[in-house]
Amino acid sequence: MDGLRERRLRRALVGTALLAAAWLLVGVGPARGQLREVRMSYMPIMGTEPVYAAQERGFFAENGLRVDLKRMFSGGVQFEALMARSLDVVGITALTTPFYLAQEQGIYAKLVHPMNWVGEHRGRRYGPQSFLAVRADSPIQRVGELRGKVIAIHGYGTVNHVALLEQLKREGIDPVREARIIEVSLLRHEAVVKSGEVAAAAMIEPFATVARKRGSIRTIAPNIEAVLPNMLVAASWVLPEYARRNPDVVRGLQRALAKAAEWIHAPANQDERFRILAKWTNLDLGLVREIGDAIEYYKPYSDGFTDWGALQEQIDLMVQQGQLKRRLEATQFDPKR
């Protein structure tokens, strides 16, 4: 997620009154059989796959919803739109943005449904989906050799950044005094590693695989997964007031996305699954087939999310690394609260 946008959001939240968070979604409910209109953002990345499947396969409509999908980039941009009432649902963002929102303003966005996970699931290991990458001919072989080096991340305060801080500390490297961490758009990671502008970059998929195939980089370690081997990467969110006034919509979204998560992993659906994924991400179908069922997985929660320990683990790591000033209670993000 874009770090500049994340910082802009955090500054805006600190300096403004929360009028946007207090808006009331009032109105007469739809007539019997009429679909509810829902404005939902999405980022054109692989992790948004349940949203694509739910839209293409009609799972939203089956649950009484007409979802207008709006393409956006970064968690900060999506939450700005949510607070401005131009969105009803943030389709996908990493957990850091709602954590910062809760810390700075006390607004606990509600987790509608998880998106992508990495780690063990049904006897398989999915991931890594993020790596520390160096130039193909670099002498650097391990994380401990990054002392004194420049390292690129795509955003300060992201989970990639938090994991990198922990990785360096585990190798006895002070990330403030003995390394220089800079922000670089993830679209430029391959270029800055190849040119030598940085010694390493915390790259994510599919960019890492594409760069590796071109012979530009090699990976020396997982990034996030080295610290959080079983992790919820991202989720969909609504504001508390929306969840309170539209519980039927939230339940419909949960059921639709849960059905999509099940559909994605059914063996008979793989050809159509990858065609849908390639269409919405604009990625090469061959690349999607290669890594689409290897780097992440999806779990259904038709009655609402329950694995709050996965969120708490990230919160506690962010507190430990100084990215959050205080401990948040993960269950406060439950739409039922």
Same domain, 8 and 103: yes
Reduce the DSSP state of residue 236 to 3 states and report it.
strand
CA distance 56 to 274: 12
Given this model, what pLDDT does residue 75 score?
Answer: 85
Reduce the DSSP state of residue 64 to 3 states and report it.
coil
In one letter, which amino acid is 154? H
Q: Which residue has 């953002």 as its token pair?
A: 41
Given this model, what pLDDT does residue 33 score?
Answer: 66
In a domain, 53, yes or no: yes
Number of domains within the chain: 2
Is the predicted pLDDT of residue 164 greater than 80, yes or no? Answer: yes
CA distance 9 to 3: 10
- Ranking 164-173, 267-276, 285-294 by mean pLDDT, the lowest is 285-294
Is the predicted pLDDT of residue 262 greater than 60, yes or no? Answer: yes
Same domain, 111 and 245: yes
Mean pLDDT for the stretch of residues 76-104: 93
Same domain, 309 and 293: yes
Given this model, what pLDDT does residue 277 score?
Answer: 97
**Which of 227, 257, 273 represents a domain boundary (last residue)?**
227
**Which of 192, 227, 262 represents a domain boundary (last residue)?**
227
**Which of 183, 199, 227 represents a domain boundary (last residue)?**
227
Same domain, 151 and 216: yes
CA distance 153 to 136: 18
In a domain, 75, yes or no: yes
Give the CA distances from residue 274 to residues 127, 277, 324, in Å, rounded to whole numbers and listed in that order.
18, 5, 37
Q: Say if residues 242 and 236 touch (Cβ distance below 8 Å).
A: no
Cα–chain center distance at 128: 14
In a domain, 293, yes or no: yes
In a domain, 275, yes or no: yes
In a domain, 204, yes or no: yes
Task: Band the pLDDT of 10: cuts 50, 70, 90.
Answer: low
Q: Say if residues 93 and 1 touch (Cβ distance below 8 Å).
A: yes
Beta pairing partners, 147? none
Given this model, what pLDDT does residue 3 score?
Answer: 52
Given this model, what pLDDT does residue 7 score?
Answer: 56
Given this model, what pLDDT does residue 1 score?
Answer: 43
In a domain, 269, yes or no: yes
Q: 30 preceded by cis ω (within 30°)?
A: no
Same domain, 68 and 137: no
117-121 sheet: strands from edge to edge: 124-126, 117-121, 231-232
Q: How many residues does the chain have?
A: 337
Is the predicted pLDDT of residue 234 greater than 90, yes or no? Answer: yes
pTM: 0.85
Same domain, 242 and 222: no
Is the predicted pLDDT of residue 198 greater than 80, yes or no? Answer: yes
Given this model, what pLDDT does residue 138 score?
Answer: 98
In one letter, which amino acid is 42? Y
Same domain, 44 and 100: yes
Angle at 178 between CA 151 and CA 174, to 5 degrees: 100
Same domain, 8 and 98: yes
Task: Band the pLDDT of 328: cuts 50, 70, 90.
Answer: very high
Q: Which residue has 């800055």 as its token pair?
A: 192
Given this model, what pLDDT does residue 13 score?
Answer: 44
Tell me which DSSP letter residue 89 carries: B
- DSSP H helical segments within the chain, as ranges? 3-15, 49-56, 59-62, 75-83, 96-105, 159-170, 189-195, 207-213, 224-227, 240-245, 247-265, 270-281, 285-291, 308-320
Q: Could you give the dihedral angle defined by the CA atoms of residues 56, 259, 241 and 20, in that order, rounded to the nearest 10 degrees?
A: -30
| Percentage of the chain lying above the pLDDT 70 cut | 90
Same domain, 245 and 222: no
Domain that holds residue 207: 126-227
Is the predicted pLDDT of residue 66 greater than 90, yes or no? Answer: yes
In a domain, 28, yes or no: no
In a domain, 30, yes or no: no
Same domain, 165 and 180: yes
**Which CATH number covers residue 150?**
3.40.190.10
Same domain, 196 and 248: no
Cα–chain center distance at 226: 17
Is the predicted pLDDT of residue 40 greater than 90, yes or no? Answer: yes
Task: Select the more confidently predicted residue: 204 or 6.
Answer: 204
Same domain, 105 and 237: yes
